[in-house]
Chain A
Amino acid sequence: MIRVHELTKRFFADGREIVAVDRLSFEIQPGEVYGLLGPNGAGKTTSIRMIVGLLRPDSGHAEVAGCRTVEAPDDVKAKIGMVSASDGLYPWLTVREMLMFFADLYGVPLRAAEAKLGQLSELLQFNHLLGRRCLRLSTGQKQRVTLARALMHDPPVMLLDEPTRGLDVIGTHVVFDYIGHLREQGKSVIVSTHRLDEAERLCDRFGLLHQGRLLHEGTLTELQQMTGCRSLIDMFTLLLRSDATITPSPVC
């Protein structure tokens, strides 16, 4: 469903070149939840932005359901639901108006959009907020509405960039529950998160990014064998200690 091949992005800052993403390659199948993990500045968000077509890669390409991002950006965008930690809402629109507006942007017919709105508001527990203006929502409520916004067009692919940032325990639980639900529906999901414990429980496979490069990729068991660490937290600690290649270490 998602195929990323040699994706590379460089930025220029303070007169020098920074390689934000360096020849990143991976694939994700339908019904698979992929955890894109790494410390701050590892290139997770840049990778997600390139997959959705918000950033142009310097080389390489990303494919979603057979469409390349650069060649058919609108086709790719139509197949993706994206949630970002920095997502905002239109303060003067009601929740209903905002979600219907986004359904319209994705070309969802009015009746189908209304049905989807009813279904999502029930599932994500914000029925009572539909008539409320977005500026009056709490952080948790906003995050649920944002999640619903990304799902209004029922995309086969979900890209979730720090979807639980700023949420309390209950809010986080709702989001992760819903990710499990997406897997059951056969959607391909990429999750970038710092909640490693939740990620460990939820994701089928992981990609460990560091300084723009994919250092390790595989299931939790495979990563444990590769790194010698038992948990993702240990792997991260090791990652931060060594700037280069990870070797099995007895300390984990």
Chain B
Amino acid sequence: MSFTRLARLCLKEWRETLRDRRTIVTLVLMPLLVYPLLSILLQRFLVTSLTDARDPVYLIGLTDDRYLPLLQQYLDAGGEMLRQEDAHAAEAIGNAGAGPDLRDQQPRVQWFGVPDLEQAVRTGQIDVGIVVVVEDEDLPAEGLSAAARYRLMYRRESALSRAAFEYVRECLRAVNDYDLNQQAQAMGERLMLPAAIEARPLAGVDGAVSLTTLVPLILILMTITGAVYPAIDLTAGERERGTLETLMAAPVPRLGLLAAKYVAVLTVALLTAGANLLAMTITLLSSGLSELVFGEQGLSMLVIVQVLALLVLFAAFFSAILLAMTSFARSFKEAQAYLIPIMLLALAPGLLSLMPGLEFSTWLAFTPLVNIVLLARDVFEGTVDPAIAVLAVFSTLLYALAAIAVAARIFGTDALLYGSEGRWSDLFARPLQERPVATLPAAMFCIALLFPGSVLMAGYLSQQEQLAMSHRLLLNALATILLFAAVPWAAARIQRVRVGEGFRMHRSGWLVFLAAALWGLSLWPIAHEIFLLNRWLGLTAVSSEQMDMVSQLLVQLREVSPLLLLLALAVVPAVCEELLFRGYLFAALERSTSGGRAIWISALLFGLFHVVVGSPASPERFLPSTFLGLVLGWLAWYSGSVLPGMLLHFVHNGLLLMLAYYRDALMQRGWGLQQQQHLPASWLIAAGIAIAIGAVFLFVVGRAKRRTIP
């Protein structure tokens, strides 16, 4: 299906959705009403929770009672000085009656001796803890000055604690300033610098929840509210209107229809989220609550951009999931029944972001929904790990693709068209007739299953360090066979796909194989240069630790037989990965789209898989692997077979392995190569000539006759 046709399908879905008044009500009126209402409630809550802002009582704790009289004196004096400063400032600007009047807001202070100050602050027993650090243990007769430091602790999530901290700090600053002035006047006799103040914001324990951590929950609600109605309307609604049968009677691929519906749902979800964001921004700015929600930086442009980017991710995910769920429904009522538990389930991971101390690990980066919730939390807290973030984004997009594939598989099946005959098991029903190649939804579903499977397997294998290297290699080979060959083979059997056609296992001429072998021998210098380009672009930085790990691995690999090495890391990956990417997937892609797109899509997925199967994830492998995927894809398309690509892949992997295996011997012969350097020009020219010869061979043979696939 062409993009222009897809665009026309999208246009129809947009018209159908956006002209519906109910959608407009959800889009515009809801946020306009909800956010101002929420801000009023929040303000009221804050007013009551801050006790009485006009008569605050600050609970201040000390570990050392010796300093209590002096600090009491400082705070009293400092408070008095602040009142005077305030009065002077008011006189200076000529409106003594306007603005905040500190004299009316003089807080009451209660002092406590506390053995564990930090714990007392965290648990909310006291609002501020003061630790006085003095170099000379004897209390100076002139008071605390240059020899002392005040360490103030407070709970950053508590408005009352922050207010108490501000008050104490200002009082002590005022005393310090006074002290400085006094000393300046006495210049010439003795000059001492004032005591420094050090602030220590602490994270609270029980019940101390920052409003920032609520943002992921708000994002979930924003996107779900927008996506629910169009998802139901465009799937279950088609049946209720009686348009589903007519639609299914048209010769148009279901994946195309679902893609258009997905775009429409995503659009509405984004519009709703955008309207929500706008209303939220206006409300927060006008009510002055932005700092409370987003911390000290408030609702800056950066925060808005971050929220928008996260909204796109949330909307992409939820639109696909909701579309998949509602595709099972035969009516609005049924769709709503499916979605209510889904919405409740969606809130559970949102609550995870409220859990203090929950680390965003690699495993959680692959857990649907939890990953984007934790990503949002870390983005707003400024603690996001880029590698984990990339994994979370990629895995989320793949889950969305899988959901669309499921929707395309089930939408409009006769089970749904004609109601009572339908069963959930129809999703996995075998077709009555054999088919030459897999359908694209089935192939995408298989890829989406393999993605987390590969990550889990990579994680498991990385933990088997206690095994001998030969056993680890065999285990790795077994995992590759299971994932990349057995799973697609089983999927093909379930779908009655003919193995020869479905995996593109066709004969090719010997010249094609010769060309493939030549390319296998000559492509690695280009892959190496792409790796260096990666580094130059700043897309990857291989740390010294990673280099050490690679060196250790090479030492271990040299202990096993080179034949075993070739079998486990060259033969098996070449055969199995080609079967999946240039066989099963490529055949499905080629049937549904142009050859060029099939090459690009399979290459990008090939590149992505090589990023995630490393443990830890290896983003630096993306460009070289994608490049290799493009070459392999083109060869598969040109030759009409998966077999030459297997040879190319094997020769490429095998050559690199052997170069690493015999590196020391090669170095002794003067053929050494620094990994971080460009290759000599002569090597690149030689590689270029070999590639050209291979291309001539392929040109002589000509492109394989196009096989007609119904």
Asked whether, in the complex, the Cβ of A54 is within 8 Å of the Cβ of B417, the reply is yes
Known: A12-B421, A55-B418. A104 touches B5 (CB 8 A): yes
The stretch among B15-23, B270-278, B643-651, B687-695 that forms the contact with chain A is B15-23
Whether B242 contacts A107 by the Cβ 8 Å rule is: no
Q: Which of B245, B246, B418, B421 contacts A149 (CB 8 A)?
A: B246
The digit string for B417-440, where 1 denotes a CB below 8 A from any CB of A, is: 110110000000000110000000
Q: Which chain A residue shows the least CB distance to B250?
A: A105
Q: Does A27 contact B (CB under 8 A)?
A: no
B33 interfacial contact with A, CB 8 Å: no
Other-chain contact of A56, B8, B20, B432 (Cβ < 8 Å)? B432
What B residues does A21 contact at CB under 8 A? none
User: How distant is the Cα of A133 from the Cα of B417 in the complex, in angstroms?
Assistant: 25
Bound Cα distance A12, B421 (Å)? 7
Smallest CB gap from B246: residue in A: A87
User: A77 contacts which chain B residues (CB < 8 A)?
Assistant: 249-251
> Cα distance A236–B12 when bound, in Å?
44
Name A132-179 residues within 8 Å CB distance of B. Answer: 133, 149
**Nearest A-chain residue to B8, judged by Cβ:** A104
Q: Would you give 24 A-B contacts (Cβ < 8 Å), ordered by A?
A: A13-B420, A49-B414, A52-B249, A54-B248, A54-B249, A55-B418, A56-B414, A70-B433, A72-B710, A75-B251, A80-B249, A82-B249, A87-B243, A88-B246, A90-B16, A90-B243, A92-B15, A92-B19, A93-B15, A93-B16, A102-B246, A104-B8, A105-B252, A106-B250
- Among B246, B249, B414, the most chain A Cβ lie within 10 Å of the Cβ of B249
A97 at the interface (CB under 8 A from B): yes
In the docked arrangement, what's the CA distance between A78 and B349, Å? 46
Residue of A nearest to B244 (CB): A88
**Cβ of A107: which chain B residues have Cβ within 8 Å of it?**
251
Bound CA span A56–B245, Å: 14
Residues of chain A with a CB closer than 8 A to B421's CB: 11-13
CA distance A84 to B245 in the complex (A): 9
Tell me if A89 is interfacial: C-beta within 8 Å of chain B.
Answer: yes
Asked if residues B16 and A92 are in contact (CB atoms below 8 Å), the reply is yes
Q: Encode contact with A along B632-648: 1 for CB under 8 Å, 0 otherwise.
A: 00000000000000000
A230 to chain B, nearest CB (A): 37
Question: How far in angstroms is the closest Cβ of chain B from A176?
Answer: 21
* Additional 19 contacts, C-beta under 8 A, given A55-B418, A56-B414: A12-B421, A54-B417, A55-B417, A70-B432, A73-B251, A80-B249, A82-B246, A82-B249, A87-B243, A87-B246, A88-B243, A88-B246, A91-B241, A92-B15, A92-B16, A93-B16, A101-B12, A105-B252, A133-B19
A90 touches B241 (CB 8 A): yes
Kindly state whether residue A86 has any CB partner on chain B within 8 Å: yes
CB-CB under 8 A for A71 and B710, given A90-B243, A92-B20, A106-B250: yes
Contacts of B417 in A (CB 8 A): 54-55
Would you call A184 an interface residue if the criterion is a C-beta within 8 Å of the partner chain's C-beta atoms?
A: no
A198 within 8 A of B: no
Residues of chain B from 210 to 264 with CB closer than 8 A to chain A in the complex: 241-243, 245-252
CB of A86 within 8 A of CB of B710, answer no
Q: How far is the CA of A11 from the CA of B9 in the complex (A)?
A: 34
Q: How far is the CB of B8 from chain A (nearest CB, A)?
A: 5
A residues near B15, Cβ cutoff 8 Å: 92-93, 97
| Residues on A with beta carbons closer than 8 Å to the beta carbon of B20 | 92
Rounded to whole angstroms, the CA-CA distance of A149 and B242 in the bound complex is 14
Flag whether A122 is at the interface (Cβ < 8 A): no
- The reply to whether B16 and A89 contact each other, CB–CB distance below 8 Å, is no
How would residues 41 to 77 of chain A score, 1 for a CB under 8 Å from any chain B CB and 0 otherwise? 0000000010011111000000000000011111101
Please name the residue on chain A nearest to B710 by beta carbon: A72
Inter-chain contacts of A92 with B (CB < 8 A) = 15-17, 19-20
The 3 closest A-B pairs by CB, nearest first: A88-B242, A74-B251, A92-B19
Q: How large, as a class, is the contact surface on chain A? A: 35 or more
Chain B contact residues: helix, strand, loop or mixed: helix
A175→B245 CA distance, assembly (Å):
21
By a beta-carbon cutoff of 8 Å, the part of chain A in contact with chain B is 11-13, 49, 52-56, 70-75, 77-78, 80, 82, 84, 86-93, 97, 101-102, 104-107, 133, 149
User: Chain A contacts of B433 at CB under 8 A?
Assistant: 70-71
Q: How many angstroms between the C-alpha atoms of A13 and B16 in the bound complex?
A: 36
Q: How would residues 686 to 705 of chain B score, 1 for a CB under 8 Å from any chain A CB and 0 otherwise?
A: 00000000000000000000
How far apart sit A104 and B8, CA to CA, in the bound complex (Å)?
Answer: 8
* Chain B residues engaging chain A, CB cutoff 8 angstroms: 5, 8-9, 12, 15-17, 19-20, 241-243, 245-252, 414, 417-418, 420-421, 432-433, 710
Q: Across the interface, name the chain A residue whose C-beta is closest to B252.
A: A105
Give the complex CA separation of A87 and B243 in angstroms: 6
Nearest Cβ on chain B to A103's Cβ, whole angstroms: 10
Task: Return A90 CB to nearest CB of chain B, in Å.
Answer: 5
Bound-state CA distance A75–B247 (Å) is 15
Say yes or no: B243 contacts A105, CB within 8 Å.
no
Q: What residue in chain A is nearest B435 (Cβ atoms)?
A: A71
Q: Max chain B CB contacts within 10 Å: which of A55, A71, A80, A90? A: A90
Pair B242/A86 contact, Cβ less than 8 Å: yes
Neighbouring A residues of B12 by C-beta, 8 Å = 90, 93, 97, 101
B243: A residues at CB distance < 8 A: 87-90
Contact residue among B9, B17, B19, B414 (Cβ-Cβ distance under 8 Å from A54): B414
Chain A: CB-nearest residue to B12:
A101
Name the CB-closest residue of B to A101. Answer: B12
CB distance from B436 to the nearest CB of A (A): 11
Whether B251 pairs with A105 at a CB distance below 8 angstroms is yes
Smallest CB–CB gap between B427 and chain A, Å?
15
User: Are B245 and A86 neighbours in the complex by a CB distance under 8 Å?
Assistant: yes
Provide the bound-state CA to CA distance between A107 and B246, in Å: 15
**Bound Cα distance A16, B223 (Å):** 45
Please measure, in the bound complex, the distance between the C-alpha atom of A97 and the C-alpha atom of B19, giving whole angstroms.
13
**Would you call A88 and B16 a contact (CB within 8 A)?**
no
Q: How far is the CB of A244 from chain B (nearest CB, A)?
A: 27
In the complex, A101→B248 CA distance in Å?
14
Kindly provide the distance from the CB of A14 to the nearest chain B CB, expressed in whole angstroms.
10
B17 to chain A: which residues have CB within 8 Å?
92
A91 to B16, CA, bound (A): 8
- Which residues on B sit within 8 Å (CB–CB) of A12? 421
Residues of A within 8 A of B432 (CB): 56, 70
- A161's nearest neighbour on chain B, judged by CB, is B245
A54 to B415, CA, bound (A): 10
Residue of B9, B241, B414 touching A88 (CB-CB under 8 A): B241
Q: How far is the CA of A104 from the CA of B9 in the complex (A)?
A: 9
Q: In angstroms, how far is the closest chain A Cβ from the Cβ of B127?
A: 58
For A98, give the chain B residue with the smallest CB separation.
B12
A226 CB, nearest partner CB in chain B, Å: 33
Shortest distance between the CB of A37 and any CB in chain B (Å): 22
Q: Give chain B residues whose Cβ lies under 8 Å from the Cβ of A105.
A: 247, 250-252
Closest chain A CB from B418 CB (angstroms)? 7
- Asked if A87 contacts B16 (CB within 8 A), the reply is no
Inside 8 A of A106's CB, which chain B residues have their CB? 250-251
Q: From B429, which residue of chain A is reached at the shortest CB distance?
A: A56
Report the separation of the CA atoms of residues A92 and B18 in the bound assembly, to the nearest whole angstrom: 9
Q: Which residues of chain B have C-beta atoms less than 8 A from A78's C-beta?
A: 251
| Complex Cα–Cα for A11 and B414 (A) | 12
Give the complex CA separation of A80 and B248 in angstroms.
12
**In the complex, residue of chain A having the shortest beta-carbon distance to the beta carbon of B239:** A88
Select from chain B the residue with minimum beta-carbon distance to A67: B710
Chain A CB within 10 A, most for which of B245, B247, B432: B245
Chain A residues lying within 8 Å of B252, measured Cβ to Cβ, are: 74, 105
> CA of A89 to CA of B8 in the docked complex: distance in angstroms?
18
Report the separation of the CA atoms of residues A53 and B431 in the bound assembly, to the nearest whole angstrom: 13
A29 to B433 Cα, complex, angstroms: 28
**C-alpha gap A80/B418 in the complex (Å):** 20
Q: Within the complex, what minimum Cβ distance (angstroms) separates B250 from chain A?
A: 4
**Separation of A104 and B20 alpha carbons in the complex (Å):** 23
Point out the residues of chain B lying under 8 angstroms from A104, CB to CB: 5, 8-9
Q: What are the residues of chain B within 8 A of A72 when measuring CB–CB?
A: 710
**What residues on A are CB-neighbors of B242 within 8 Å?**
84, 86-88
Contact B251 A102 (CB under 8 A): no
Residue of B nearest to A102 (CB): B250
